[in-house]
Amino acid sequence: MFITLEGTEGSGKSTQAKLLKEYLESQGKEVALTREPGWGKLGSIIREAILNDKELKLDPIAELFLFCADRAQHVKDFIKPKLEDENIVICDRYFDSTIVYQGYGRGLDIDLVTRIAETSTLGVKPDITFFFSLQVEVGLKRLKNRDEITKMDNEPMEFHKNILEGYKKLVAEDNKRFNVIDADRTIEEIKKDILGYF
């Protein structure tokens, strides 16, 4: 099973990804937890370039291809092998993030971004995607308590609101795969909601 978690900045998905891993392992499952961007050697380089290098001002097209290069290698070297070994794979962000961040957020052509993002999955699609629904203002306020603040976090409010609207459109288009989680609750309440799917 391949599970992905999606949401705007500060929505709490990374915390819930770890809690879900712990729960599934307590049930005797083999679970691999990963994230995008940032898995492996190439992922680490790309994550630094996209999210942390303040001096590097990426063109939106360059940013798009870097995210997708990271994903293709990630799928080939990690996600596919883990799934073939019958592990449950939990991924914090996947191709949906590219569609909303580079398409709706950066304003690139949605059809182009979608084709490239889907191609970068090498045909590996999630079985279930949890979308953490949260008002942008609430999520950004939460970031003040986080150690790692990225370049993406510091984008203008309009950028983040466009991303939220993009996610809402994706959820409406594929409501069989997406499960909407109300992220404006306590960690325990959200955890209980997610575990209800298992």
Residues 6+ apart with CB under 8 A from 83: 2, 89, 124
Do 13 and 20 contact (CB within 8 A), yes or no? no
Judge whether residue 148 has pLDDT over 80. no
pLDDT digit string (tens) for 94-136? 999 999 999 999 999 999 999 999 999 999 999 999 999 999 8
Q: How many domains are there within the chain?
A: 1
Q: What is the pLDDT of residues 34-55, one digit of tens each?
A: 999 988 888 899 988 888 887 8
| Cβ contact 121:33 at 8 Å | no
Residue 34 sits in a domain whose CATH number is 3.40.50.300
Distance CA 193, CA 184 (A): 12
Is 99:166 a contact under the CB 8 Å cutoff?
Answer: yes
Domain range for 61: 2-195
CA distance 74 to 77: 5
83, with CB counted inside 10 A (0-12, 13-18, 19+), is middle
Question: Over 90: is that where the pLDDT of 186 sits?
Answer: yes
What pLDDT is recorded for position 22?
97
Q: Collapsing DSSP states into helix, strand and coil, what is residue 87?
A: coil
Q: Which residues on adjacent β-strands are paired with residue 128?
A: 3
What is the reported pTM?
A: 0.92
Average pLDDT for 191-197: 95
Tell me what pLDDT residue 147 has: 65
At 94, give phi and psi (nearest 5°).
-155, -150
